[in-house]
Amino acid sequence: MISERRTAPQHIRPARHAGYAGDRTFVADSSLSSRRLGRFIAAMVLAGFVLNEIWEMAQMSAYVETAGRSWMSTLALCTRAAVGDVEIILGISVADALAAADPGWGLRDQWNIYATAAVLGLVYSVLVEHAALAAGRWSYTERMPVVPVLGAGLWPLLQMTLLPPLTFCITQRWAGRRATTKN
């Protein structure tokens, strides 16, 4: 009877799991070209940078270190911060791709992609805010509402909770439209 179970045919995996190997190795979906993945990543970097640069510039008055400074005097600082934010978004993307065992996970318009990005972004921002405040890297003015339960500023928490999923949504729509027009 035991040998019968071992020799019984395995069920065929659904097409949506075509990139998943049973041993959890990372197998690329054959329909995902490296060119399409490259365009997706480039679009993610561009969308993430633009969204985060705008957000960084908008919240500068909520930090003691930049409050009252001119827009031009904070531009370089905000640009460096936006580049770091893009790195965070790329990290979230890689973590999600590894968890899904699918490098093209972000090309699918599914709610769990956006929810995962929001949760990972929130967790990361709480950790960064706590570490930066404890190390004295920055401090808040009265313009920064602090979330009591999390002990961190509302604006950076919202930034990393909202912008990664928004970046993925914009990128997915752009990449999906490009793939449709190219095929």
Residue 18 lies in a domain: no
Residues 88 and 164: beta-carbon distance below 8 Å: yes
| Per-residue pLDDT at 1 exceeds 50 | no
Domain count across the chain: 1
| Per-residue pLDDT at 19 exceeds 50 | no
pLDDT in tens, 150-160: 999 999 999 99
pLDDT in tens, 133-149: 999 999 999 999 999 99
Task: Find all residues with CB under 8 Å of 166, minimum gap 6, and list them.
Answer: 51
Q: How many residues does the chain have?
A: 183
Residue 4 lies in a domain: no
Residue 154 lies in a domain: yes
Residue 158 lies in a domain: yes
Backbone φ and ψ of 175, nearest 5° = -65, -40
Please report the pLDDT score of residue 113 as a whole number. 84
Residue 161 lies in a domain: yes
Residue 104 lies in a domain: yes
Task: Find all residues with CB under 8 Å of 59, minimum gap 6, and list them.
Answer: 144, 155, 156, 159
In the three-class reduction of DSSP (H, G, I as helix; E, B as strand; rest coil), residue 125 is classed as helix
11: left (phi over 0), alpha (psi -120 to 50) or beta: beta
Rg (CA), the chain: 21
Query: Helices 111-135 and 71-100 meet at what angle, rounded to 10?
Result: 130
pTM for the predicted model, two decimal places? 0.77
Q: What angle do CA 164, 170, 176 make, to 5 degrees?
A: 125
Residue 21 lies in a domain: no
The parent domain of residue 113 ranges over 34-182
Residue 94 lies in a domain: yes
* 29-38, 48-57, 86-95, 134-143: range with lowest mean pLDDT: 29-38
